[in-house]
Amino acid sequence: MNFLQTVAEYGGLVSIIFVIAQAVDAARFVGKSKAASTATDEQEKVINAMNARLEVQERNINDLVKENARLQLILETIKAALKSRGLIITIDGEMITIGDGTSTTTTHIRQNSH
């Protein structure tokens, strides 16, 4: 019986140690889980910020495309008006040529230095 008493006494101690070990392990898991959750939240914030920035850039590109089309229409209108007065304007890349039937002038497009 002495042996059984000893096992019973130590069995309670082993159970307590086992419970404490499980509690420590659970606390570590919760800490890791919280860190992973925080990382996921931060990733989500970054993705949302990047998506918002992308939407702004898409709107800016759309605005620039519309402005480019408007400027192209204005340029074509000016060319047509000048052509009706005898001036022919051709644009080839960075070069503009203006002719009136007797002479032509070619010039390079000037770049703004903002």
Q: What is the pLDDT along the chain (114 residues), one digit of tens a residue?
A: 455 556 556 666 667 777 788 887 777 777 676 666 777 888 888 888 999 999 999 999 999 999 999 999 999 999 999 999 999 999 888 899 999 888 999 998 887 765
The residue type found at 53 is R
The CA distances from residue 111 to 34, 67, 95, 114, in Å, are 56, 18, 12, 9
pTM higher than 0.85 for the full model?
no
Quote the pLDDT of residue 5: 58
Q: Which helix or strand (DSSP H or E) is residue 2 part of?
A: helix 2-84
pLDDT per residue as tens digits for the range 71-86: 999 999 999 999 999 9
d(CA 95, CA 97): 7
